[in-house]
Amino acid sequence: MKNKRNFGILLPVSALPSGEGIGTLGKEAYNFIDYLHAVGGKVWQVLPLNPTNYGDSPYQSCSADALNYYFIDLQTLAEEGLLKEGEIKLSALADCGTRVNYGKQFTEKIALLNKAFTRFDGGEDFRNFIKKGEYDDFAVFMALKASFNHTAWTEWAAPYRDYNEEAVAKFCAEHEKEILFWQFTQYVFLKQWQRLKDYANARGISLMGDIPLYIAYDSAEVWKYGDKLFKMDEKRNAEVVAGCPPDGFTEDGQLWGNPVYDWEKMRADDYCWWRERVRRCFKFFDILRIDHFRGFDRYWEVPAKDKTARNGHWADGPKEKLFEGLAGCDIVAEDLGTIDDGVRRLMKNVGYPGMKILEFAFDGNPENEHKPSNYTENFVCYTGTHDNMPLKQYIEDLDGKEKEIYVKDLLAECLKAGVKADISSPEAACRTVAALAFASKANTVIIPLWDLLALGGEARMNLPSTVSDKNWSRRFTKEDFNAELAEFLKKTAKETDRI
């Protein structure tokens, strides 16, 4: 990423076309890789691969390590004799709309995966997978969750809620089949993902993953490890939770509610849990984006009893010490939001590229660090992220004065970069901004598919701090991967030396 100009596309696995109600690791994933390869792209960026939980967010998972069984391709299981074609076609997953119905995934897909498991004969490879124990905690957690009607672990009967080892061991002995099923989902995912990754890498395409800084309270790790990893009391009640301070957009700040790490305790074993988490990610990805990277310098913690983030305070994170020995890992640090000298010092010391967002660039401020003419080095350029409104919507929502400033700044940047500007419509402006990203000094440019297609608010991936069936559910169709877009990408990449 640091040595050659290239470009990629941000497209969540969930958003791929498919006949299974959600994107999968099947045929359409391979088709997308072929499309990206044909236009000269070198990076496919996805969102976290963890199972989704309440709110369907991949950033609020029931496990920091487990993999999303919704992405398992059922057609591949049919080809392997574990499912019948009719079983897939008869399911409600055949809905091919532009939204993921997570309720159907929960009821229909898990039932079909269970059916496949009953026909799975295991074998030595699966037995060796089980012996490694990498997904034991997840499998036990999910089996217990099912036995308690999928409620949060805080609602379970006392011996299980409190992680009584004897009670948990007894449960495991009595529910071996259910636990093996959840192990099976991870085994199958890994096999399908590895084949896909090998296919991409053979075509010169790197897979870029994403992990959140924090993990959900209702997760296997918090349930099992509690105060060993997090700032919690002996009963695993959170003392403080994560959030963001008040700013010009939110007078009460943002109260995320995630448990925060006890960095002092983690320091005792040289941050082993976090280091291993990062290393495991590189079994799946060639490049890893770490969300909310500023939290490793300082993070905003809020008393757990508070209803807003207003009374929180800044606390020190592990800083660059955590990343010693990980210098060879190809990591991108999401350094957006409240950035101060501490974060800048951390970024310089770890040497990872940060991010520049063109949606933030054209505001009339000549010193705006997101303006391409102000770029220095060691960063990845985006038009927007999964949390931003689509670029077209952003442009359309600007009022008269804001739009005047935006257009003036955009035209000035295009003139400096030698980019032909077309602002005749919001769609044309989106293509212009994408072309400006390609022309920038950034070695790597990644454009979300919704911005390449100049889609509006209907294509937004996530509206932060909200829970809605519109979040994380948008999908694309085969027709979106069209010849006109391919021609734009090939032409622009060639003109800007990215092929």
Number of other residues whose CB lies within 10 A of the CB of residue 494:
12
Task: Output the six-digit token pair for 228.
Answer: 């060993």
3-state helix, strand, coil in the chain (%, to 5): 45, 10, 40
Give the active site residue among 73, 334, 359, 409.
334
Number of other residues whose CB lies within 10 A of the CB of residue 123:
9
Residues ≥6 apart with Cβ < 8 Å to 14: 22, 23, 47, 58, 70, 71, 100, 472, 473, 475
Give the active site residue among 65, 178, 291, 301.
291
Read off the amino acid at residue 291.
D
**In the sheet that 313-316 helps form, which strands lie side by side, from edge to edge?**
254-259, 240-244, 298-303, 313-316
Task: Output the six-digit token pair for 12.
Answer: 């969540």
Active site residue 487: no
Classified as helix, coil or strand, 333 is strand
Place of tokens 């010693």: 324
- As beta bridge partners, residue 38 has none
Tell me whether strands 331-333 and 254-259 are parallel, antiparallel or unpaired: unpaired
Place of tokens 């696995």: 13
Cα→Cα distances 37→31, 101, 166, 254, Å? 10, 30, 53, 40
Read off the amino acid at residue 380.
V
Residues ≥6 apart with Cβ < 8 Å to 239: 231, 232, 233, 303, 304
Give the active site residue among 330, 387, 422, 495.
387
Active site residue 387: yes
Q: How many CA atoms lie within 13 A of 192 on its CB side?
A: 27
Active site residue 124: no
- The b/e string for 366-384 (b: 16+ C-beta within 10 A; e otherwise) is eeeebbbeeeeebbbbbbb
Q: Is the dihedral of CA 383, 384, 385, 389 positive or negative?
A: negative
Closest CA to 429 of 460, 401, 406: 406
Tell me whether strands 379-382 and 444-448 are parallel, antiparallel or unpaired: parallel
CA–CA separation, 479 and 25 (whole Å): 19
CA–CA separation, 76 and 99 (whole Å): 22
State the catalytic residues: 291, 334, 387
